[in-house]
């Protein structure tokens, strides 16, 4: 990106992906200008970022936060509020980074694409829940959707060697790698005693708490199966999960002739973030290199689907289609929040999602109103189970 300077809006700026995006922007000041940021509860961090990058506009979640932030920043920074504010900021820049956690990231995904922007997407929940709606807005001229999620970013890089024909008929399988999380190798019985402190320690990645718990249940990989299907237009029957504990191979594409392409690197999210910002160029700073002069161990194994039922649940939701993935993701958000709040045990997370999905009432998901109603209903069902 030597010649052009691109504007960037970063939603979820204070989180794990957000702060790593800021790291990339600090190294690439010649190429990018951060113009807008948004975040949730961490107001002093948000103010510090606004000051450092001298952004013009900041999004917060409530009027209360607006007032508190205005006191910190003074009148020169415009502050916008709530989902409408997020949507407004998503029209602000050439590149919109969606690093918000959960379904709350939906306005960013839809508005950025509708506005013909490049959407660099970390927020998989919005794509999974709203896949049919996202498919429509992706047709907006000028818009593009590039995945920050490391597996999908790997596949994006592998597929660059394929003719971009719809549905990729020369691809036999997408192979999503999974570290297996902190409970890899645990039996079903052992998992009954899984503790929050164990679940919050990921073996290879340091991430926000919700995705860390999702990685421990493999729900994260389940969401990623649907994410891959939606991103690349490849049905979930051609998306498989492979456990690869080292997190060096970030995912693979197998072609009909048996040839397999893979993308390898050190596990560092700044690499996929920089890839999404820099496209079609590669940003030269780099984030560490693999040392091939030393032995590198790469192991692969099948996931334990009985011990980690979230994976099969996600395939089921994908096959049901319509609003089923939105139900799964919404119920999961409620259950993970309850687990993080010490209100339920680890095995209850996926049990609650399964019960909610069992009660799914088919809906083809034709509109945003439909999606909001489905999201609210699935959350209500999950809360009902919690309060029983």
Provide the binding-site residues for ligand NAD, judged by CB under 6 A.
12-18, 38-42, 61, 86, 99-101, 104, 122-125, 149, 205, 207-208, 210-211, 269
From 23-31, 150-158, 162-170, 276-284, span contacting Mg ion (CB under 5 A): 150-158
Picking from 224, 178, 183, 124, the residue whose alpha carbon sits closest to that of residue 349 is: 183
Q: Which does 123 bind (CB under 5 to 8 A by kind): ligand NAD, Mg ion, none?
A: ligand NAD
CB closer to ligand NAD, 89 vs 385: 89
Q: How far is CA 181 from CA 58, 303, 310, 350, in A?
A: 35, 11, 13, 15
Which CB, 46 or 145, lies closer to Mg ion? Answer: 145
Q: Which C-beta is closer to Mg ion: that of 92 or that of 151?
A: 151
Query: 324 by DSSP, 3-state: which?
Result: helix
The 8-class DSSP code of residue 172 comes to: E
Shortest spacing between CB 118 and Mg ion, in angstroms: 20
- 29-37, 74-82, 151-159, 225-233 -> range binding Mg ion (CB under 5 A): 151-159
Return the structure tokens found at 216.
């421990």
111: partner contacted, choices Mg ion, ligand NAD, none (Cβ within 5-8 A by kind): none
Our CB check for ligand NAD shows the closer of 269 and 356 to be 269
Nearest Cα neighbor of 87 from 100, 74, 71 is 100
Among ligand NAD, Mg ion, none, partner that 241 touches (CB below 5 to 8 angstroms by kind): none
- Which residue's CB is nearer to ligand NAD, number 165 or number 206? 206
Cβ at position 196, least distance to ligand NAD in Å: 16
Tell me which residue of 311, 347, 320, 124 sits closest to 222, measured CA to CA: 311
Q: Which is nearer to ligand NAD, 45 or 312 (CB)?
A: 45
Place of tokens 């409970």: 183
The three-state secondary structure class of 127 is helix
Closer to ligand NAD by CB, 334 or 385: give it.
334
Among 28, 88, 92, 149, binds Mg ion (CB under 5 A): 149
> What is the C-alpha to C-alpha distance for residues 95 and 26, in angstroms, rounded to an integer?
16
Question: 329 near 289, Cβ under 8 Å?
Answer: no
**In the complex, least distance from residue 42 CB atom to ligand NAD, rounded to whole angstroms:** 6
**Smallest gap, in angstroms, from Cβ of residue 222 to ligand NAD?**
12
Minimum CB distance to ligand NAD, residue 188 (Å):
26
- Strand partners for 9: 36, 96
The C-alpha atoms of residue 75 and residue 87 are separated, in whole angstroms, by: 22
Q: Which does 17 bind (CB under 5 to 8 A by kind): ligand NAD, Mg ion, none?
A: ligand NAD
CB 255, min distance to ligand NAD, A: 26
Phi first, then psi, for residue 21 (nearest 5°) are -65, -40
CB of 362 to ligand NAD, least distance (A): 26
Q: What are phi and psi of 173, to 5 degrees?
A: -150, 145
> Is residue 43 a contact partner of residue 65, using CB atoms and an 8 Å limit?
yes
Inter-residue contact 183 to 199 (CB < 8 Å): yes
């Amino acid at each position: 990106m030597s010649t052009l300077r691109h504007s960037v809006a970063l939603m979820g700026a204070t989180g794990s992906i957000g702060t790593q995006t800021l790291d990339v922007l600090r190294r690439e000041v010649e190429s990018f200008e951060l113009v807008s940021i948004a975040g949730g509860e961490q107001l002093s961090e948000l103010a510090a970022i606004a000051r450092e990058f001298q952004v013009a506009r900041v999004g917060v979640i409530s009027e209360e936060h607006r007032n508190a932030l205005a006191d910190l920043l003074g009148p020169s920074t415009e502050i916008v509020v709530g989902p409408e504010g997020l949507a407004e900021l998503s029209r602000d820049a050439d590149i919109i980074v969606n690093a918000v956690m959960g379904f709350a990231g939906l306005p960013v995904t839809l508005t950025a694409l509708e506005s013909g922007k490049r959407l660099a997407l970390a927020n998989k929940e919005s794509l999974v829940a709203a896949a049919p709606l996202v498919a429509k807005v992706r047709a907006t001229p000028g818009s593009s959707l590039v995945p920050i999620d490391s597996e999908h970013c790997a596949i994006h890089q592998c597929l660059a060697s394929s003719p971009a024909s719809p549905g990729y008929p020369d691809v036999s399988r997408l192979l999503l790698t999974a570290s297996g999380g902190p409970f890899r190798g645990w039996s079903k019985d052992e998992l009954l005693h899984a503790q929050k402190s164990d679940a919050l320690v990921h073996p290879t990645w340091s991430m926000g708490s919700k995705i860390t718990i999702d990685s421990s249940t493999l729900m994260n990989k389940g969401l990623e199966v649907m994410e891959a299907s939606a991103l690349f237009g490849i049905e979930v029957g051609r998306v498989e999960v492979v456990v690869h504990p080292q997190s060096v191979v970030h995912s693979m594409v197998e072609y009909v002739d048996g040839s397999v392409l893979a993308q390898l690197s050190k596990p560092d999210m700044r690499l996929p973030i920089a890839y999404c910002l820099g496209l079609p160029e590669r940003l030269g700073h780099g984030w560490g290199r693999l040392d091939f002069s030393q032995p590198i161990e790469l192991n692969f194994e099948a996931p334990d689907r009985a011990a980690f039922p979230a994976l099969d649940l996600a395939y089921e939701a994908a096959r049901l289609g319509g609003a089923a993935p939105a139900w799964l993701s919404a119920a999961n958000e409620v259950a993970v929040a309850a687990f993080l709040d010490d209100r339920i045990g680890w095995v209850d997370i996926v049990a609650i999602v399964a019960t909610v999905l069992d009660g799914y009432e088919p809906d083809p998901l034709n509109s945003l109103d439909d999606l909001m109603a489905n999201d609210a209903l699935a959350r209500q069902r999950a809360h009902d189970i919690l309060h029983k």
